[in-house]
Amino acid sequence: MQVNAPFSAKANHNQTGSGPLRPRPRHFYKAYGLTISSEVTLPELEPLASVPAAADIVISVGSFEVPQPSVNAATAFRFEPDRQYLAWETVGAFLISDARRIDVDPAPGVDDQLIAFPLLGPVMALLLHQRGLLILHASAIVVDGKSAIFMGDKGAGKSTTAGAMIRAGHELLTDDVVALDLSNPLEPMIVPGFPQLKLAADAAAAISLKGAEVRPQVHPAIDKTQHRLHGGFSREKVAVTRIYILERGERAAILPFPTIAALPAIIKFSYVTRFGRSALVGDFAAKHLRHCAQLAGHVGVCRLEVPTGLDRIGEAVDLIKMDLEFDNVVRPKREAIFGKHDV
């Protein structure tokens, strides 16, 4: 829901629903190549061995000025060039400012585990977008130095396919929020997120990630559970090799994706698009389109048909591995003939 009122109403939630917020200890983490200082406990992230002199991202809990939402609105969003506001009635409000600070005003009685769900999803995605990265609603894995990004509609099997690849011995780069560094537009890079995968119960039972820590269900209305990986995670940036648009099919297949359709698909599955045109304020619309076009122009985009039925997910895994291995053979030959950035 779009909220057009100014930042004027005062939020004043806390853990118990009355009185001032209690002081919270700070925790220090790393994700997306950034150091994070947070008053919200985030066990999903990797802890830092030492306290940084100055964190890249600061997360604080407290009250702040917020837009006045419509009566009975369950959600409220507002976007300005230097700050963005998101609120969910059952979780709380989040204010992103200066592309480095997130203020959190929890709803009464809400614990950190539920706060983390939107905080590490859409809120973090918008902050990374503000920092100049291209953010996709997708999952990404790495296979012997080559990477694959899985995009698709809800229920297409993005995280499930990534989980099956991890079970087969490959590594996760990031799940749900895929951050791409296009500072060198000729070589888009995937920035590693954090070692967690969110899986539906049937997918988790079918894949059974060895050694993963399954965390308690966050909320009855959220059907996916968080799987904290101990191993099977890549901490280094990896160049984007292939983007797969996932669809359900009778058999595993990788099919050509029309070049003219690649750019609209990337725009569709970019994270900021979920919030509509209003999220692209100022010069962000032109920059976002430019980033999407750069990605479409330098990365192979294919349609990946994943067989219906979790017992056949291995067929897609084998096909993806073969496709990436084929790229290892073909690309060097093409580069030798045409040059590195013409293939």
Tell me: pLDDT of 192 over 80.
yes
Cα angle value 156/114/234 (rounded, 5°): 55
Q: Which residue has tokens 């992230």? A: 45
Average pLDDT over residues 237-252: 95
Question: 208-232 pLDDT, tens per residue?
Answer: 898 899 988 888 788 889 999 999 9
pTM value > 0.75 = yes
For 10, 70, 243, 260, 342, the CA distances from 254, given in Å and listed in that order, are 52, 46, 11, 18, 23
Q: What is the pLDDT of residue 222?
A: 84
Both structure tokens of 241: 């090799």
Give the domains, in start order, of the chain with CATH numbers: 7-130 (no CATH), 134-342 (3.40.50.300)
pLDDT band at 5 (very low <50, low <70, confident <90, very high): very low
Tell me: pLDDT of 156 over 70.
yes
Tell me: pLDDT of 269 over 80.
yes
236-272 burial, b at 16+ Cβ within 10 Å, e below that, comes to eebbbbbbbbbeeeeebbbeebeeeebbebbbebbbb
For residue 160, with 0-12 CB atoms within 10 Å meaning exposed, 13-18 middle and 19 or more buried, which class applies? Answer: buried
Q: What is the pLDDT of residue 335?
A: 38
Question: 284-343 pLDDT, tens per residue?
Answer: 999 999 999 999 999 999 999 999 889 999 999 999 999 999 875 444 333 333 334 443
Q: What is the pLDDT of residue 221?
A: 80
pLDDT band at 74 (very low <50, low <70, confident <90, very high): confident
Q: What is the pLDDT of residue 1?
A: 33
Q: What is the pLDDT of residue 120?
A: 97
